[in-house]
A and B are shown apart, each in its own frame.
Chain A
């Protein structure tokens, strides 16, 4: 099953879009979904040594307030369910950063019975940061890349998700067999 973006790309941004994107780019509230081992790199990224707050990146406490969902590493099928719920509770526009090679192709858990292999089949991912595990410099460079995409209006994973919801749902239901999830009115 392939996910094709069905979005008509515009060539230029209007002024209001430019201002909005500028604000969005410089104010990223991050919800770190730290179940993978990569989560250990988040504290140094946020604190004095690397100080992500100078880019306007700051932690959010709940999915409702967050803009960026940072998935730090492997996802078991069980945690994938929670990730989907968290992602659907976030308010548009929302972005996802896949962090570590586990989110890209399964990493060292590529043949495990219990961890998914490619995250972008289940929820749209805007930026991947590779490495096992990526250092804080790499994390910050990933965020800067995301900021570039947002400014150019290319970080449109949330639109992709809305437009291709059936395909994403089909992929998700392949892993989560017993689908007992609430519907969020996003």
Chain B
């Protein structure tokens, strides 16, 4: 038994959880400051999760409802395992070499699917609306996201993330080597973070928080944990692909924080879209840039 593997998994998860939680707290603080409030302390999300885990949970709607949050957290930790945290293998390797971008694209959908199934069984109409909105929105932002990734795969003939990281050691950040794909990817990424104006899935005022509306106590705690881990995984993946990864933790935090602040700041000043507006947005400029990125890639290899 390889103990360092297990140690690596544990440390990776703890890092992801902590960073994701702190980022959530910082975003709440930033929102508060922009609204001229004092705001909660930045460790507020830890207290929330701790409290949620300390609650009793007596909700039963069927076994899929119990499995939904577990499925979500499994999917987000699994995604995390395949993303290299630092480049050149300086962090624990976990399962970095086993997967590639195409696999990750599937993996990132899995968590949402689990949530959708779990929320579907609660029988709450708000959950059902939230799920249908979430899946339609996913169809929206997956198009530019896939176009961006496929453009990179075509241009550099590489599908593994470690391969992309090594490539960037030689030619610099992909953000400059493949700028149109970067723009498309960034715009799609804003949607993936589910901050306003793309928070149509969890809209608290109109949908009563959507899919999690029947989940309280420990289930909600699990969902928050999974959300924090998944946020971190997504951020690191984005940094790995476009921003050349990071060679130490500080650099990683800096880069991920900058990327994280884009959707947060954009969200604070935006109202919420409707579902079809959101989809139309993603099929507009982001998809356009994605297509340009493909043409650019084709031009570069020709």
Residues of A within 8 A of B (CB): 19-20, 22-24, 26-27, 47-48, 51, 53-54, 56, 58-59, 61-67, 90-93, 185-186
Contacts and interface: CB of A to CB of B under 8 A. Distances in A.
Given A61-B208, A64-B214, A91-B56, A54 B51 contact: no
Contacts of B205: 61
11 contacts: A20-B51, A20-B54, A22-B47, A23-B50, A51-B32, A51-B37, A59-B204, A62-B216, A64-B213, A92-B55, A185-B60
B27 interface: no
Given A24-B54, A51-B38, A53-B37, A90 B216 contact: yes
B216 A54 contact: no
Contact of A185 (B48, B58, B207, B208): B58
Contact of B38 (A20, A23, A24, A54): A54
B185 to A, nearest CB: 31
B37 A61 contact: no
B48 A27 contact: yes
Given A91-B58, A92-B56, A93-B55, A53 B214 contact: no
Contacts of A61: 204-205, 207-209, 213
A27 B51 contact: yes
B98 interface: no
Contacts of B54: 20, 23-24
Interface residues of B, number: 33
Contacts of A65: 209, 212-213, 215-216, 220
A19 B35 CA distance: 31
B39 interface: yes
Contact of A47 (B35, B44, B204): B35
Most buried by A among B35, B36, B54: B54
Contacts of B163: none
A48 B215 CA distance: 29
Contact of B40 (A47, A56, A66, A186): A56
Contacts of A66: 216
B39 A51 contact: yes
Given A48-B36, A64-B59, A91-B59, A24 B209 contact: no
B57 interface: yes
A24 B49 CA distance: 10
Most buried by B among A53, A59, A67, A185: A53
B208 A62 contact: yes
Given A20-B54, A65-B209, 16 more contacts: A24-B51, A26-B51, A27-B48, A48-B35, A48-B36, A51-B37, A53-B28, A58-B40, A61-B209, A64-B59, A64-B213, A64-B214, A64-B220, A65-B220, A91-B56, A92-B58
